[in-house]
Amino acid sequence: MLEVRGLDLFYGDAQALDGVTLQVKSGQIVAIVGANGAGKSSLIRAISGIEKPRAGQITFKTQDITGWETCDTCDIGIGQVAEGRQIFPSLTVEENLEMGALLARARTKARQARDEVYTMFPQLAERRSQLAGTMSGGEQQMLAIGRCLMGQPELIMFDEPSLGLAPTGVQEVFQTIRALNRRGLTILLVEQNVAVSLKLAAHAYVLENGRIVMQGRGEDLLSDDRVRRAYMGL
């Protein structure tokens, strides 16, 4: 579904990604793990179109989308749940969801999508008229996921979805990711909790200093001594 080949990304003279190559097959959960500053979020931003790569290619369902604008990548089925949630705090829950359905691909099914989001997250249905900025971090993350689903994505990129959440909220987020994958959505997961990421992932890549240094099945990397020492403190 998604392929990245030889991707280079710079911020000024500083190189954030160096020849990154990876694949995400349809229906999979694929994890990107690595230390802070390894380039994980830069990769997500390059795929979504927020950052423009200097070299390399990004294809989605065989279509070259390298350097596309973010609105265009969203409208072909790539959704993103951003780090820090990035909800609209002064809008209500329902208004936030409506923002997710502004894409051309999503407008005709907006009402159905909203009902599905409320079924998946009953707390949001109960708070549909509440200002989003007054909700807990876990509820805001549910809203960010719900807003993404309103856009009818086929691939969802999660950027640090458990960051800043209480333990119960973290558990709910990972349960939601599993549920979305069971529904047929393809997931690209960037997450600080390496152990959980690798348990979830069919395939995973280890990113260090902007380069892919290891890859393999999630369960294989989970048992790899180098990964356990470097990222799990074991």
How does the average pLDDT of the chain come out, rounded? 94
Residue ranges in the chain assigned as alpha helix (H)? 40-48, 70-75, 93-100, 110-120, 122-126, 137-150, 167-182, 194-200, 218-222, 225-231
User: CB neighbours of 62 closer than 8 A, spacing ≥ 6?
Assistant: none
User: CB neighbours of 116 closer than 8 A, spacing ≥ 6?
Assistant: 149
If you average pLDDT over residues 34-43, what whole number do you get?
A: 91
If you average pLDDT over residues 197-210, what whole number do you get?
A: 95
Nearest Cα to 117, choosing from 150, 161, 81, 152?
150
How high is the pLDDT of residue 233? 67
How high is the pLDDT of residue 59? 98
How high is the pLDDT of residue 167? 86
How high is the pLDDT of residue 7? 98
How high is the pLDDT of residue 197? 92
Q: Would the pLDDT of 234 be above 70?
A: no
Nearest Cα to 203, choosing from 185, 215, 212?
215
| Widest pairwise Cα distance in the chain | 50
Residue 216's CB: how many other CB atoms inside 10 A?
Answer: 16
Query: pLDDT tier at 149 (50, 70, 90 boundaries)?
Result: very high
State how far the Cα of 214 lies from the Cα of 206, in Å rounded to an integer: 5
If you average pLDDT over residues 138-152, what whole number do you get?
A: 95
Q: Are strands 78-81 and 14-24 parallel, antiparallel or unpaired?
A: unpaired
How high is the pLDDT of residue 156? 97
How high is the pLDDT of residue 229? 86
How high is the pLDDT of residue 220? 95
User: CB neighbours of 23 closer than 8 A, spacing ≥ 6?
Assistant: 2, 3, 4, 30
Residue 104, both tokens: 């051309």
Q: Would the pLDDT of 232 be above 80?
A: no
- Report DSSP state, residue 66: T
Query: pLDDT tier at 140 (50, 70, 90 boundaries)?
Result: very high
How high is the pLDDT of residue 37? 87
Nearest Cα to 47, choosing from 178, 176, 190?
190
* DSSP-based three-state secondary structure for 10: strand
State how far the Cα of 23 lies from the Cα of 158, in Å rounded to an integer: 16
Residue 19 backbone dihedrals phi, psi, to 5 degrees: 65, 35
Report percent pLDDT > 90 for the chain: 81
State how far the Cα of 189 lies from the Cα of 200, in Å rounded to an integer: 9
**Radius of gyration in angstroms for the set of CA atoms belonging to the chain, rounded to a whole number:** 17
Structural domains present in the chain: 25-37+69-231 (3.40.50.300)
If you average pLDDT over residues 19-47, what whole number do you get?
A: 95
pLDDT 10s digits, 44-91: 999 999 999 999 999 999 999 999 999 999 999 999 998 888 999 999
